[in-house]
Amino acid sequence: MKNSPLPPHKLVTCIPEKREPGMMVFNVRPGGASEHIYKDAWILGIDQAGAFALNLHFAEQTQDVRLLPNKNLLFSFTAAGQIRETKQNGELVRQWHISGKWKDKEAPDDSIPIDLPLTHHTINYFPNGNLLLMSVEQREYPDWPSSDEDPNADTEIARVMGDVILEVAPDGTIVNQWKLLDILDPYRICYGSRAKYWVERGFPDSVDWCHSNAVVYDPSDDTLMISLRTQDCIIKIHKESGELKWILGDPGNWKAPWSSKLLEPTGDLDWQYHQHDCSITSTGNVLCFDNGNFRALPFAAKTPPERSYSRAVEFDVDDDAMSVRQVWSHDGREQNQHSYACYQGGACRLPKTGNTFITYGGICTIDGVPTNNNMEGFVRSRLVEVTPDNEIVFDLWITAEDEPGRALLSSFRAEHIPDI
């Protein structure tokens, strides 16, 4: 880790007096096809005036970053199997390593082992200081759908990857776990549920049934809220029992008994698809980044990428009535500045201004045309702050579009760091 030149970027808009005080911290890492070639990555922080106030450079791909109650940073290197807590200047406080990623090499000194094969996507924490992590398991199911395009296709035996949510004590002890294959319908598919994401990560012939990418603890009702990208839904489960509380998403293709947990829409509402970064706002609403892939379920026609758009969206959930109402969204189309990020992304509600910080994590194009194929397209990210009435007060692109070699760069999500 060292201070280093910044990744290529372009600041389009910054109106400091309308922005949230403090610093927004986010990762930058190789995106698309380059993620298996280049290792350089950053944890960056940009202040209210638009200046880079934090610049940490690493030789491994950074992933999620969180602000801990003690004001330290918690961030991960999922490919390398590491989690670190550091001071805001990057000074190491403690670190953990995922045992399954360190079988053939010596772990760093004073690193705390966590006995898991891997972790992926997000990291988070509980109020008691325990870590909130994700891992994965594989199960074999007969008579599984062999196609998401043809409803009459034969079924098959499938190696289904299901995510496991974990509570891990600071000493590395696994305190609790929740297996999504035991909670949801293992036979329900959406577009993307047959993707080869886990094949590329060492699980041959597997399918990417749910692809969870965010989890947050809600102390108001002792629940966990989880984003399932390739199930096109956000769910809540009771922490103590693991029982499903509700499902927020397109109601198509859900069977009993899971269909009884669907939230009923009220008013004008557009469902989210392939979402990331669900969170609870200060008013108790659900906020997420709606990537918008396909905007349909099997076996309806997909929205093509050139007509797709991503957005931040806020929902008001009435637990008693089991209903949901859309109360706010931003997709930029009115300003003709909308971006379609086919993967990664985040939405963060800011405490003083009520602004929302949006990370269009992986914007992918081929010859300038949006694509869903992040492994063949040009990749860049865009970070935007908008007011409650959707004025853009900050607009930063992480992009090498004007540089030789055109590096492929993405960002997972951003975290707000208040002024200290």
pLDDT tens figures, 103-129: 989 999 999 999 999 999 999 999 999
Q: At 96, is the secondary structure helix, strand, or coil?
A: strand
pLDDT at 40 > cutoff 70: yes
Q: How confident is the model at residue 404 (pLDDT cuts 50, 70, 90)?
A: confident
Torsion angle in degrees (nearest 10) through CA of 138, 140, 146, 148 = -40
CB 275 within 8 A of CB 289: yes
% of residues, the chain, pLDDT over 70: 98
For 311-344, the pLDDT digits (tens) are: 999 999 999 999 999 999 999 887 777 899 999 9
- Residue 137: the pLDDT is 98
Sign of CA dihedral 303, 300, 163, 347: positive
Q: At 34, is the secondary structure helix, strand, or coil?
A: helix
State the amino acid at position 351 in one-letter form. Answer: P
Q: How confident is the model at residue 169 (pLDDT cuts 50, 70, 90)?
A: very high
The answer to pTM > 0.85 is yes
Token pair 């055109």 is found at 406
- Residue 1: the pLDDT is 42
Q: How confident is the model at residue 141 (pLDDT cuts 50, 70, 90)?
A: very high
Section 78-98 average pLDDT: 96
Q: How confident is the model at residue 420 (pLDDT cuts 50, 70, 90)?
A: low
Q: How confident is the model at residue 190 (pLDDT cuts 50, 70, 90)?
A: very high
Section 364-377 average pLDDT: 94
Q: How confident is the model at residue 413 (pLDDT cuts 50, 70, 90)?
A: very high
- Residue 3: the pLDDT is 52
Find residue 238's DSSP bridge partners. Answer: 223
